[in-house]
Amino acid sequence: MCEMFSLEGKVAVVIGGAGAIGEILAQGLARQGAKVAIADIAFVKGEQLAKNIQSETKNEAAAFKVDLTDEKSVAQLAKDVAAKFKKIDILVNAQGVNMKYDATEFPGDAWDKMFAVNVKSLMLVCREFSKIMIPQKKGKVINLSSVRGVRATFWSGNEGYCATKGAVDMITRSLASEWAQHNINVNAIGPSTIRTPFSEKTLSDPSRLERFLASCPLKRVGEPADLVGTCIFLASSASDYITGQIIYLDGGLTAVG
């Protein structure tokens, strides 16, 4: 293992860790040496993932139940994780929902839910875990954004998702500026399509896949390993001089418009 990218002795918290992206990242961080806290409303799935990670990597992993729309639940999560692991080096915000409606029919409650989960909960998590990282005078925060925070899409129904990811980008930049004095790096990963169960609709539709690949210079869909590599880089000492950045994991899509 390259020492620069080693996470040995580090404690990583993955919010939304039982989801498709969260699970991939939790496993990847553990394989690189980190102890992992998996936080999700889906506690049973998170608990099974923690057991699998411990069995495979021999690194400590634990599941925590959290309702990300409840401020008290988020505050308690930070206290519980800190009590168990004594410190927190890496915070990954991998939570998110996407509900698609045409702009002329977008329901207000769906819009509110997307902002509650994708934006408000991210800020609440950062607020509570900063209370642990700031006294430590170190930390790495990695937010999951999207190319849709900076580019629209060919398909309808994405106004809510695009808006939430634009907000995530600006929270990332603002926190990076505010917390630099505490030696806390705050960055985001902005993927395009990654091969997960949630991308099945795009990947199984030949016309949608063809159009996606036409807009992607590398002419392929992102793989989970691509996502893990970027996350490890941002979590490790290799990225100590990088903060306030959104790294677009998109095969070149944002480079060509």
Select the more confidently predicted residue: 17 or 155: 17
Q: What is the mean pLDDT of the chain?
A: 95
Q: The pTM is what? A: 0.95
Q: Which entry of 101, 161, 241, 248 is annotated as an active-site residue?
A: 161
Whether residue 203 has pLDDT greater than 90:
no
Active site residue 161: yes
Q: Is the pLDDT of residue 198 over 80?
A: no
Mean pLDDT of 89-117: 96
Q: What per-residue confidence (pLDDT) applies to 140?
A: 98
**pLDDT at 249 (0 to 100):** 95
Question: Looking at residue 1, what is its pLDDT?
Answer: 52
Whether residue 255 has pLDDT greater than 80 = yes
Q: What is the pLDDT of residues 213-251, one digit of tens each?
A: 999 999 999 998 899 999 999 999 999 999 999 999 999
Q: Tokens 């930070």 sit at which residue?
A: 78
pLDDT category at 2 given cuts 50, 70, 90 is low
